[in-house]
Structure 1
Amino acid sequence: MMKQTKAVQRVLILGMDGAGNFVQQADTPNLDAWLPRGAYTFDAKAEMPTISAECWGSVLHGVQPDKHKLNNEKAATLSYPSDSPFPSLFRLAREQQPEAKLASFSSWSPINSGIIEDNLGVHKVSLPDAELVSSLLVYMEENQDVRLLFLQLDEPDGSGHRYGYGDDCPEYLAAITTCDELIGSVLKRLEKLGLMEDSLVVLLTDHGGGGDNKYSHGSAHPMDRDVFWGCIGPGINSGLLKGPVSITDTAAIAALALGLTLTQQWDARLPEGLLDDTWASKSITIVDSKTAAAEESHNG
């Protein structure tokens, strides 16, 4: 008999920038404790090029960079098109669940201004890492019914650019440890509020660094491209994932958990072995834009 699992009430995507899979060498007691509570890997792949806008864009839009067309300059200077055929998770959630509370806390402000669409009623905050998490914790206390929440901490990427990326760079590893403490405070607050049992949480980074250039990233070198990724929540298996995982796949499990219908063919896929048998009857619904338009016209 298939066991029952709690319905997911909220999805939280909690990320640190530029950590690659160096969390294995850094002191990360929170990730060490939390990742095994769900499915995880240290061999997930960042998108190419391994740069923040391209990678966070893929996490939030569910498609590879050649489709969402984002880069750091565009994200910093332009709003993401509100009529793009590759909407963000936030736009899909707003269109299909109009009353949903949506929030994005990003230390790198172009995520809020140029990767997530404007005028969606998303609660957006851009502050330095520690202040950002303090603001998020207050928000969570007051908005426990939030439906989708995203967090991006700008370290350790900043430290990598300043001091170098890699397990031989103590300042970089220390920045990962600081981010581990900040993300740990969010996870502990969720647990204290009794929200973990019906929350889906994705823990990840966008890329690494130090492959072709000790102080930068962007290449296909494993130091740039290999990253950690984990997912915890109802119906999620526990243990190391054996199959391939892309950071883009974050959008697939988030969409499934939120019950969203997709109106374009995503590149995001559900990683093999991620879901237990309680999800057997569930699948992501994808319709093409013509079908969606016809259905909307018929229903109207």
Structure 2
Amino acid sequence: MRLLTFLCLLPILATAAPRTEHVFVFSFDGGNPTIIQQAEMPNFKRLAAEGAHSWQANTIIPSKTLPSHTAMLTGVDIAKHGIDWNDYFPLRGTVKVPTAFSLTKAAHPDYITALFCGKIKFRHLWIKDSLDMFSCGSPYTYGPIPATEEKKLVPAPQVATQAAAYIVEKKPQLCFIHFPDADSAGHKYGWGSPEQMEAFKVCDAALGEVLAAIEKAGLTPSSTVILSADHGGRDKNHFDPVVNNTTIPWIIWGKGVKKQHAIAKKTIMTYDTAATVLTLLDVPLPAHFDGEPVLEALE
């Protein structure tokens, strides 16, 4: 009878197990995929070539940093998540829908979650008790910050160094890492300018540092990595609803991912990232989600 019971439970046990043990999501702010493919980014391009990739995914409209990242990390469009501003406004509080971090914590209370960002406005995504680490140049505690820090901008090398050290020490199950440099260079010098190309190169080196930390921590065989962006850009901006601004890369690599696979689906949306993250970690998708997991990319 025990053997029969075990055999009956096997399908349930098989579907309940997470597809991976660790998920790392990287966002390259301002990452126009056409420009990324021209930039000197060997780490990014290696993961794209080895894993599953699309150079034609889409962000939301308006294609702005905070609304787009909110969609990426909540699994819903702007009409549901409600963050339609693009600066840090403390009095507006945190996002009113669950994030991938809070949903992961609800399903797996023992999982470690972390967010490393280059822009302090990501604090709007920090739901209380959803993150074990929030870092923007340095670790923060939950609560108010000095007014002098409300425009804080941290370059990718510093973001990467802090993320790398934390990954080696804590081995988080869900970690989001944001590199702002290409967006800053694009606004100042233009998308595709030599200065922005250099910024993309710097961000790729930062990616390499974090990948090395994942390897050092012994997590590479049990990890899945997603590379994407909040928006593209052209000239010196990214706000107009045109293809150069709304098209983003979507790369997935590592455990449970198809190898050397060009994703055929043409309608990948940035909010599909959250759905894919939760699916990888065996977290149930809420009924209100707009996002769907990109199952085509998974083994």
State the TM bucket, normalised to the shorter chain. 0.7 to 0.9
**What amino acid is the match of 2:52?**
A
Instruction: Name whichever of 172-181 and 117-126 sits farther off.
Output: 117-126
The aligned residue for residue 242 of structure 2 is 221
The aligned residue for residue 79 of structure 1 is 93
2:50 to 30, 33, 37: 37
How many residues align structurally? 264
- Counterparts of residues 1-300 of structure 1 (less than 5 Å): 7-21=19-33, 22-73=35-86, 75-77=88-90, 78-81=92-95, 84=96, 86-111=97-122, 113-127=123-137, 128=154, 129-144=156-171, 146-166=172-192, 169-210=193-234, 214-238=235-259, 239-244=261-266, 245-271=268-294, 273-276=296-299
CA–CA separation in structure 1 for the residues paired with 2:284 and 2:211 = 28
CA–CA separation in structure 2 for the residues paired with 1:272 and 1:89 = 17
Q: Is the 8 A contact 1:10 1:200 kept in 2?
A: yes
Task: Give CA-to-partner distance per residue, 1:234-281, whole Å, 9 cap, x none.
Answer: 2211221111211211111100111112333211112352122xxxxx
Gaps of 5+ in 2: 1-16, 138-153
Tell me: CA distance 1:255–1:218, structure 2 relative to 1, closer, same or farther (3 Å): same
Task: Give CA-to-partner distance per residue, 1:120-153, whole Å, 9 cap, x none.
Answer: 3431000222212111111111112x11100011
* TM-score normalised by length of structure 2: 0.83
SS at match of 2:271: helix
Instruction: Name whichever of 121-130 and 169-178 sits farther off.
Output: 121-130
Q: Is the 8 A contact 2:157 2:206 kept in 1?
A: yes
Tell me: CA distance 1:240–1:219, structure 2 relative to 1, closer, same or farther (3 Å): same
Q: Is the 8 A contact 2:279 2:293 kept in 1?
A: no
Tell me: CA distance 1:73–1:273, structure 2 relative to 1, closer, same or farther (3 Å): closer
Task: Give CA-to-partner distance per residue, 1:163-201, whole Å, 9 cap, x none.
Answer: 0113xx111111111101101211122123331111111
Identity %: 24
**What amino acid is the match of 1:95?**
A
Task: Give CA-to-partner distance per residue, 1:50-81, whole Å, 9 cap, x none.
Answer: 10111100110000111101133475433215
* TM-score normalised by length of structure 1: 0.83
Q: Is the 8 A contact 2:157 2:202 kept in 1?
A: no
SS at match of 2:181: strand
Q: Is the 8 A contact 1:202 1:230 kept in 2?
A: yes
Gaps of 5+ in 1: 277-300
